[in-house]
Amino acid sequence: MVDTRDDSHLAEALRAARARLRAVVESLPFDFWMTDSNGRYVMQNSACRERWGDVVGMRPEDLDVDPETRQLWIENGRRALGGETVREEVQYPVNGEPRHVYNVISPILDDDGELLGALGINLDITERKRVEQALRRRNEELEQLSRSKDQLTAMISHELRTPLVTGLGYIDMLLEGKLGQISERIRSRFTVAQRNLRRLAQLIDTVLKYQRVLSTGFRLATVSAPFDLVVLAREVVDDARGNDGGDRLTLDAAPRLQRVRGDREMIRMVLFNLIGNAVTHAGEGASIRIHLAPVIEGRVKVTVTDTGAGIPAAIRGSVFEPFVKGSTAATGSGLGLAIVRAILAAHDSDVELDSREGAGTSVSFLLPTE
């Protein structure tokens, strides 16, 4: 005797499973459809039906869509029924409007690997593509604006430098007595003018140097060569000691340090700017240490550390941007660290900053060995 209760329970479970499947499929906010092993549509959700009409019982060849879209669907169905999962981003008209769509079509296999059909989803990504294109255009505009700004800065700097050098030359001659005797009152005033014009000349030179790094820094491969980093660091420290007039600088280099590869003069500029930045902002009495040591195979780490005032938290994340200065009272152009970052980027090296107010600052970067 057949137990009809088991059949009833089985039928009820099957109806419940179908209902749950329909609810899931209908809730999907994108096109969902299924075909049998012959490529005939056997299921579609409301989103698909609203967009393409009722296609159940039809094949891609039967659909009233533009020829290119129809051919694409025929080809994708053939690939999926051949066992391939198709993933692609395409563009085709939907209700007369071009739309960007991401398609996924996969074969449906039973537990024994037998092909039962295919299922597909069509994700409309038009709005995402519009946002991406708008962002791309905006980035291109910002890049062009940045290039124009840099070119304008360089042009203005060049135009300012010529009359400035001429004016400084006459002031130097005046103060040296080459243009005749002057009173002490006039000498005092022209000395102030000389000092300020030299600061302006230094600022213009720094701006020009930054522009030169931006325009040529990413073509350093042609001048990259092995050099002795310890010798270079000693040269920079000796120069800085002479300019600073003190003994605050120390160089600590690991023994038998390997030669590194890069643009020697550009790395000189990096060390000079890092030391100069420390001298300017660390404060009187702070010590400055340059440490050179291998850290991983094929890399040497350069660290410039000071025991000074540290960088305020408000600007710590932006000190490598152009014209950002530690304090409004500090001298300098605010370009030193920006130049450092640009040069190191050209050497495929990241610059790391560690600073705490009242506890000093440490700046480090890596260079490859030869």
Going from the C-alpha of 139 to that of each of 146, 211, 327, the distances in angstroms are 10, 20, 31
Give the pLDDT of residue 120. 93
Give the pLDDT of residue 334. 66
Answer yes or no: do 345 and 242 share one domain: yes
Answer yes or no: do 10 and 118 share one domain: yes
Q: Among 84, 72, 79, 81, which residue's Cα sits nearest to residue 122?
A: 72
Residues 6+ apart with CB under 8 A from 325: 332, 334
Give the pLDDT of residue 260. 93
Low-confidence residues of the chain, pLDDT below 70?
1-6, 150, 153-154, 156-157, 202-203, 206-207, 209-223, 242-246, 322-334
Answer yes or no: do 292 and 159 share one domain: no
Give the pLDDT of residue 37. 94
Tell me which of 185, 217, 249 is where a domain ends.
217
Give the pLDDT of residue 328. 43
- Domain with residue 120: its CATH number is 3.30.450.20
Answer yes or no: do 240 and 352 share one domain: yes
Give the pLDDT of residue 76. 93
Question: Domain span at residue 116?
Answer: 4-124
Answer yes or no: do 168 and 268 share one domain: no
* DSSP per residue, 313-324: TTTGGGTTSTT-
Going from the C-alpha of 181 to that of each of 16, 63, 192, the distances in angstroms are 109, 100, 18
Environment class of residue 224 by beta-carbon count within 10 Å: exposed (0-12), middle (13-18) or buried (19+)? middle
Q: What is the rounded CA–CA span in Å between residue 370 and residue 364?
A: 19
Answer yes or no: do 55 and 148 share one domain: no
In angstroms, the first-to-last Cα distance of the chain is 88
Q: How long is the chain? A: 370
- Domain with residue 161: its CATH number is 1.10.287
Answer yes or no: do 139 and 88 share one domain: no
Q: What are phi and psi of 364, to 5 degrees?
A: -140, 160
Question: How many distinct structural domains can be found in the chain?
Answer: 3
Answer yes or no: do 83 and 194 share one domain: no
pTM: 0.49
Q: What is the rounded CA–CA span in Å between residue 55 and residue 37?
A: 16
Tell me which of 167, 183, 217 is where a domain ends.
217
Q: What are phi and psi of 249, to 5 degrees?
A: -95, 135
Answer yes or no: do 157 and 56 share one domain: no
Give the pLDDT of residue 220. 47
Answer yes or no: do 66 and 92 share one domain: yes
Answer yes or no: do 139 and 182 share one domain: yes
CA torsion sign, 289 to 294 to 300 to 301?
A: negative
- Domain with residue 271: its CATH number is 3.30.565.10
Q: What are phi and psi of 182, to 5 degrees?
A: -130, 155
Q: Please, are residues 311 and 355 in contact by the beta-carbon 8 Å criterion?
A: yes
Tell me which of 89, 124, 159 is where a domain ends.
124
Answer yes or no: do 228 and 331 share one domain: yes
Q: What phi-psi label fits residue 306: left (phi over 0), alpha (psi between -120 and 50 degrees) or beta? A: beta
Q: What is the rounded CA–CA span in Å between residue 94 and residue 302?
A: 59
